[in-house]
């Protein structure tokens, strides 16, 4: 999770409000590595409450936090599924082993309006469709599966958070939602501003869908069908000088910044298009993306898979362009 914590440090540094007034809660702190890095390297908070239930982890957490008390670290032992003494925080972090579902309600209740909620899910196989029954039970959603499964998982998690936000009278605004290795993580804000005219949570069905080809099955979701990124938020992210993986982080940030300009649902891949069209070899990725841009569509590579790209072009145009590019 080192690179993931590097991202968290970049997020903490990118906040524009006054540090002294910021209050954060890392609900599931373990030994405190993520929260304390956000506090110290990210200059993230005036106060950061780090909570943990396990006594052994707590002892290490307390030792690790000692030197950062003057920077605002405060350690508590508690069960994070219950709110801490009616306190509210403008940053809440849910970073469990497995599903974040048991913690979402307490996290949403503890978050101020416009606050930032960070949620990790390491039960990616469930969200990505390897165990449909578990996904239905845990998230109330039918998962996509196959190559689109991980992005489907991000969208199921966002839909789940959007529903929890709605129960608290607020609406969800994703700032950054990504797949990284074997987990997902979303940074979202909850706001009381007017809802979007079209509900961003819905189902995807093969019959009426004109985007990337869906796997077998009839209807998937509910999924978040709005954007995964807030371009302004993502543009503010830079590589902090202290991070463990500056090159990997820089590569991810570049990709997200481009991808944020193409807020479409799901992605294409050259080999998948070639398979569907029976082309003898896949079109070149760079040439295909450029050809779509030359035709007036937005298109960018996606971080989700090495050869994935998003585009505003309808599937018929993507496929005719792919045919033309493959023939050259």
Interaction site with ligand SAM (CB under 6 A)? 1, 5, 28-30, 33-34, 51-54, 57, 79-81, 95-97
Bridging pattern class, strands 73-77 and 23-26: unpaired
Does residue 222 have a cis bond before it (omega within 30 degrees)?
A: yes
Closer of 94 and 300 to ligand SAM (Cβ)? 94
Closer of 252 and 318 to ligand SAM (Cβ)? 252
Closer of 245 and 261 to ligand SAM (Cβ)? 245
| Closest CB 76 distance from ligand SAM, rounded Å | 10
| Closest CB 110 distance from ligand SAM, rounded Å | 13
| Closest CB 78 distance from ligand SAM, rounded Å | 6
Q: Is 146 exposed, middle or buried (0-12, 13-18, 19+ CB in 10 A)?
A: middle
| Closest CB 304 distance from ligand SAM, rounded Å | 22
| Closest CB 284 distance from ligand SAM, rounded Å | 39
Residue number with the shortest CB distance to ligand SAM? Answer: 34
Closer of 8 and 142 to ligand SAM (Cβ)? 8
Closer of 79 and 199 to ligand SAM (Cβ)? 79
Closer of 94 and 158 to ligand SAM (Cβ)? 94
| Closest CB 287 distance from ligand SAM, rounded Å | 41
d(CA 98, CA 42): 26
């Amino acid at each position: 999770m080192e690179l993931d914590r590097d991202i968290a440090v970049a997020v903490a540094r990118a906040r524009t409000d006054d540090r002294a007034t910021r209050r954060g809660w890392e609900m599931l702190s373990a030994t405190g590595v993520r929260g304390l890095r956000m506090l110290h390297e990210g200059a993230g908070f005036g106060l950061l409450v780090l909570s943990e239930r396990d006594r052994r982890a707590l002892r290490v957490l307390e030792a690790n936090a000692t030197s950062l008390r003057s920077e605002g670290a405060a350690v508590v032992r508690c069960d994070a599924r219950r709110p801490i003494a009616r306190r509210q925080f403008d940053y809440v972090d849910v970073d469990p082993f497995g599903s974040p579902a048991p913690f979402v309600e307490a996290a949403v209740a503890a978050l101020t309006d416009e606050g930032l909620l960070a949620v990790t899910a390491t039960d990616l196989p469930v969200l990505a469709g390897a165990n449909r029954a578990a996904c239905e039970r845990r998230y109330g959603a039918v998962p996509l599966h196959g190559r689109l499964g991980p992005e489907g998982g991000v969208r199921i998690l966002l839909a789940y958070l959007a529903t929890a936000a709605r129960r608290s009278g607020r609406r969800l605004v994703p700032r950054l939602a990504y797949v990284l290795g074997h987990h997902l993580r979303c940074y979202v804000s909850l706001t009381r501003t007017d809802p979007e005219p079209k509900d961003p949570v819905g189902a995807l069905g093969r019959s009426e869908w004109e985007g990337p080809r869906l796997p077998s099955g009839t209807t998937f979701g509910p999924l978040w069908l709005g954007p995964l990124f807030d371009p302004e938020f993502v543009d503010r992210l830079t590589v902090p000088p202290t991070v463990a993986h500056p090159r990997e982080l820089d590569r991810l940030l570049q990709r997200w910044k481009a991808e944020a300009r193409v807020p479409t649902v799901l992605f294409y891949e050259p080999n998948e298009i070639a398979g569907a069209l029976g082309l003898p070899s896949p079109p070149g990725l760079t040439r295909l993306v450029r050809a779509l841009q030359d035709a007036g569509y937005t298109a960018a590579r996606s971080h989700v898979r090495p050869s994935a790209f998003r585009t505003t072009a309808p599937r018929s145009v993507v496929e005719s362009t792919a045919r033309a590019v493959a023939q050259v």
